Chains A and B, each alone.
Chain A
Amino acid sequence: MEQTQTILGTIEPDITKRLVSRREAILKGAAIGSSVAAGLAMMSAPIALAALSREAFGQGTPLSVQQVIDFALKLEIFENEFYKAVLGISSVAAQNTAFAAVRAMVPAAAIPAIQQIQKHEVEHVAFLMANGAVNSLNLNGSSFDFTGGRGTGTGPFAQATVDVNFLLLVAQGAEDTGVRAYKGQAPNLMTNPAVLEAALRIHSVEARHASKIRRLRRMTGASNIKYSGTITGGGAAAAGAGNISNPSAGAVTALGMIYAGEDNVMQGGLDVTQLPNLPSGIDKTAAATEAFDEPLSAAAVVAIVQPFFIPSLS
C-alpha cells in the first residue's frame, strides 16, 4: 500500500548550499522581509534546524551523565528545602522561623499547590539519589540562605520573608530556572536514553510548577503575567514583577539573569515571528517568545543559584 512508503527523500546539495548562505545572511543581520516566505518554503530540516540552534544559552562545557544528575540533585535539594521552609516543615528551626511572617500571608488556596510542588521536589531528590546521584556537598536544610546572601541572611531576596508577592516571585524564579537547567542539560544525557527520559519527565513537572506559580501570581496582582503560565519576553521584565514594590537592585539583576535570552525569536535558524499563517491580530513577538522556552548552561544556572547556597558550587 502506498501509505507505507517513505515520503522522505534525500537532501539535495543545492538546497543545502542555499540554506547555508541563508544562515550566513541571517547571522550577518540581513533584512528578512518579504522574501522570508519563499526562503522558508525551500528550507530543509537538517540544515535549517541545525544551523542556528546551538545558541549561546545552551552551550557550556559538556557535563558527563554523572555530573548532570549530581548537578540536578543540588537544584532539587535547594527547591525542596526552600518549600519546606516556606511551609514550616524544615528540619532547621531557623529556616521555618524566617518565613513565619510571610507564611501567614500565603492565600489558603495556594497551600495545597505549594505542598504538591514540595512533594514533587522531595520525590525528585529521592529519584536522583536512587539512580546514582551523589550529594557530594552534603547539602541539607542549613546549607541555604534563601535571601540570596550566601549566609548573611540579608541578601537581595530578603523581601520574600515579609512580602507574599515577592515570595511567589522567588518560587516562580526557582521553577523557571529549574526548567531552563534541565533543558540545557538534556543533550548531555543522550548517551543514556533511560536517564534522558527521566530527566525530561522531571523537566515537564518543573514546567507545570512554573505555570501554576505564574497563574497564582497573575491572580494576585501580577497583571503582566499570562494566565497560560508561559514566559513572555526576556530579561527581568519577563519575571512580571510589576506587583512588587521597590525590589532591590540585586533582585532585579538576578531576575535578569534568570530570564536572560527568553526573548529569543530565532529557532533553528528561522525567525518565528515571520512564519506564515500565524493568527491575525496577535502580538507575534510576544507569542513567539512564549511558544518556546530557552535552555541555560550549567554555568549560567550556577551563577543564578550560588547566592542561595552557602557552600561553593564551583
Chain B
Amino acid sequence: MSDDGRTLLVSSTEQLWKSSTRRSFLKMLGVGGTIVLAPALFEACDGYSPATAPGMGGGGSASLNLSDDIGILNYAYALEQLEAAFYTAVVASAAFGSLNADQQEVMSDLRSHEVIHREFLKAALGQKAIGTLAFSTTAVASTLTSGAVILKNAEAFEDLGVSAYNGAGKYLKSADYLTLAGKIVSVEARHAAAIRDIRDAAGVTGGTAAGTRFAGDDVVASSGATAGLDVKLEPSSVLGRVGSTGLLTTMVTIGASPSGSATPDAGPPSPTP
C-alpha cells in the first residue's frame, strides 16, 4: 500500500493536529486509503504487554480488515487490549494508593471487566485474532502520575470505548456478534458513568453541570436532531485518537474500510485520553 500514494503515516501526537496532516487524513478517508498510526515513541516492549504474536516483534503492526465481522471484532479486541493494559497498570501504580476505597473498588472492578473482555475476544477470535499489542512504557506511565490523572484518563478511555462500539455496531453482519457487542458496550457505558460520577464528586465540571456528569451534556447531545443520543465515532476516528496518545508501539492500521455508510461523528470532547 505504501507505493500507491494512499498511505498516510502519522508518527507523533502533534502531527495529528497540524492542518496539513488533518487535510491528508480526511483525504485518505475519502479515498479509502490506509492511515498508519505510528507510535510517538518507538521503544522496546515493556512488561505491561509483551509482543508475543507472530510478526509482532518490537512494536510490529496489526491490520484491520473492517469490511467483515472478524475485522470489526478485532477492532474491539484492540481497544479492549488498550483498556485492559491501562487498568492493569492503574492497580499496580503508586498513585492507586492515593485513591479512596470507592475509587479503588471501581478501578479494580474495571480492570477485571476489561481483562475479561480482552480475553474473551481473544479466545473467541482464536486463530483470527490480531496479535498482542505492545505499549510504550513512558506513555503508559504518563497516564498514571496521580489519582486525578488516572481518573481523567479512565474517563477518556471509557467514553472512547462507548463511542467505538456505538459507531461500529452498524457494520456487523451477524446478529449474534451485534448482540455480543451490545452486551459489552452497555458495560462500558456503566463504567463511563461511574468514572464520570467520581470526577463530578471531585469537582470536575468541564462541560457539565454539577451532578450530571455521569451522562453529561458533553457526551449526550443536548440539542438538535440527535438530542438524547450518546457519543459515537467511526473506527478511523477512534484509531486516530488512539494513535495520537502514543500509548501503542504497535501500529494499528485499517487495511480495508467498513462496508456500509459512515455517519457523522459525535465524539467525546477530549481529543486524547
Within 8 A of B (CB), among A22-47: 40-46
Choose the segment among A86-94, A203-211, A246-254 that binds chain B (4+ C-beta atoms closer than 8 Å): A203-211
Residue A132 lies at the interface, judged by CB distance under 8 Å to chain B: no
With A5-B63, A127-B226 known to touch, is A208 a contact of B215 (CB < 8 Å)? yes
| A208 pairs with B170, CB closer than 8 A | no
With A42-B126, A272-B120 known to touch, is A183 a contact of B232 (CB < 8 Å)? no
Within 8 A of B (CB), among A276-314: 276-279, 282, 287-288, 290-295
Residue A152 lies at the interface, judged by CB distance under 8 Å to chain B: no
Residue A56 lies at the interface, judged by CB distance under 8 Å to chain B: no
| A279 pairs with B190, CB closer than 8 A | no
| A211 pairs with B128, CB closer than 8 A | no
Whole-angstrom distance between the alpha carbons of A161 and B36 in the complex? 57
Residue A186 lies at the interface, judged by CB distance under 8 Å to chain B: yes
Choose the segment among B40-48, B133-141, B179-187, B241-249 that binds chain A (4+ C-beta atoms closer than 8 Å): B179-187
Q: Label chain A's interface by main secondary structure.
A: helix
Whole-angstrom distance between the alpha carbons of A119 and B229 in the complex? 12
With A187-B179, A211-B194, A227-B106 known to touch, is A268 a contact of B211 (CB < 8 Å)? no
Residue A270 lies at the interface, judged by CB distance under 8 Å to chain B: yes
Number of A-B contacts (CB under 8 A): 302
| B112 pairs with A203, CB closer than 8 A | no
| A278 pairs with B186, CB closer than 8 A | no
Count how many chain B residues have C-beta atoms less than 8 Å from C-beta atoms of the other chain: 91
With A200-B169, A293-B183 known to touch, is A49 a contact of B194 (CB < 8 Å)? no
| B183 pairs with A211, CB closer than 8 A | no
Which residues in B have their C-beta under 8 angstroms from that of A45?
69-70, 73, 124-126, 128
With A211-B189, A212-B215 known to touch, is A201 a contact of B232 (CB < 8 Å)? yes
Kindly report which residue of chain B lies nearest to residue A273, judged by CB atoms. B116
Q: Label chain B's interface by main secondary structure.
A: helix
Whole-angstrom distance between the alpha carbons of A1 and B72 in the complex? 22
Distance of B273 from chain A, by nearest CB (Å): 18
Residue B19 lies at the interface, judged by CB distance under 8 Å to chain A: no
| B123 pairs with A43, CB closer than 8 A | yes
Whole-angstrom distance between the alpha carbons of A5 and B210 in the complex? 49
Count how many chain A residues have C-beta atoms less than 8 Å from C-beta atoms of the other chain: 89
Which residues in B have their C-beta under 8 angstroms from that of A104?
none
Choose the segment among A95-103, A135-143, A191-199, A234-242 that binds chain B (4+ C-beta atoms closer than 8 Å): A191-199
Distance of A298 from chain B, by nearest CB (Å): 14
Whole-angstrom distance between the alpha carbons of A270 and B117 in the complex? 12
Residue B260 lies at the interface, judged by CB distance under 8 Å to chain A: yes
| B123 pairs with A282, CB closer than 8 A | no
Distance of B127 from chain A, by nearest CB (Å): 6
The contact string, 1 if C-beta is below 8 Å from chain A, for chain B 190-219, is 111110110000000000011110111000
For the complex of A and B, 3 pairs with smallest distance between CB atoms: A123-B228, A112-B211, A3-B61
Sample (9) of A-B pairs whose CB atoms are under 8 Å apart: A15-B127, A112-B209, A112-B211, A187-B179, A198-B226, A201-B232, A203-B185, A214-B190, A287-B112
Chain A interfacial positions (CB closer than 8 Å to B): 1-9, 15, 40-46, 48-50, 53-54, 58, 109-113, 115-117, 119-124, 126-127, 130, 179, 182-183, 186-187, 190, 193-194, 196-198, 200-212, 214-215, 226-230, 267-268, 270, 272, 275-279, 282, 287-288, 290-295
